[in-house]
Homo-oligomer: A and B are copies of this chain.
Amino acid sequence: MNDASRAAPSRADAGTATRAELLAAARKAFAVKGFDGASIRGITREAGANLGAVTYHFGSKDALYAAVLEDGLRPLAARVQEAVASAGSARERMLRVVRAYFAHFEVHPDLPRLLLQEVAAGKPPPPVVLEILIGMKEAIAGLHVEGTEDGSVRAGHSVLTALSVISQPIYLTLVAPMLRTFAEVDLADPAMRDIAIEHVVAFVRAGLEPHPEIPS
């Protein structure tokens, strides 16, 4: 490679890089300290940006938090939509949704905590985040409706079934740091992680299947 091909980054490229650095630093700070505990000063310092960079790129701390969540949720929503649109029975596709959550949390383990720490305190999610969450909820609940039609899933409440499908990947990701210390279940160990994923998929499969004595 000759030196001429390594041009200095353009101003636009530098801006994109700074924005990405701010998102990464903010994700880390919000995950560890919560929204109130994270400081703009700490985030910009960590990102190697000046103190005004958050205002310049995002407008406010609230908007930065929304951008961090959106950045983490969009690829998950894409994985979920891919599973929903795949071939097979509705139940098979719901199990692919379970795998999609685990696959996404493997690369983005902070996401459940980032989302739930504010939500659990009663703060409504930012509108852009709510829109993504509603899209995912409707896609999975829609699969349940399909499943009661193709006979692959027990009848029941579609939204509650959607929540049953996604609850275990989210819960296990949230408690993973504690599981290491008390239950000999280290989800950072690839072999144990595979065992956990297959366990959850089997549990959800059994939970979803039509059952002669459990009508809904």
Contacts and interface: CB of A to CB of B under 8 A. Distances in A.
Nearest to A207: B207
Contacts of A168: 163-164, 167
Given A31-B121, A163-B171, A167-B171, 8 more contacts: A32-B121, A116-B116, A124-B181, A134-B182, A137-B182, A160-B199, A163-B183, A206-B209
B171 A185 contact: no
Interface in A159-208: 159-161, 163-164, 167-168, 170-172, 174-175, 177-179, 181-185, 195-196, 199-200, 202-208
5 contacts: A32-B121, A120-B174, A124-B178, A157-B199, A160-B200
Contact of A172 (B125, B167, B195): B167
A87 interface: no
A45 to B, nearest CB: 18
Contact of A159 (B37, B113, B161, B183): B183
A133 to B, nearest CB: 6
Interface on chain A toward B: helix, strand, loop, or mixed SS?
helix
Interface string A51-92: 000000000000000000000000000000000000000000
Contacts of A130: 181-182
A4 interface: no
A156 interface: yes
A175 B120 contact: yes
A133 B196 CA distance: 20
A214 B195 contact: no
Interface in A1-47: 31-34, 36-37
Of A113, A120, A178, the most chain B CB neighbours within 10 A belong to: A120
Contacts of A122: 32, 177
A203 B157 CA distance: 11
B113 A121 contact: yes
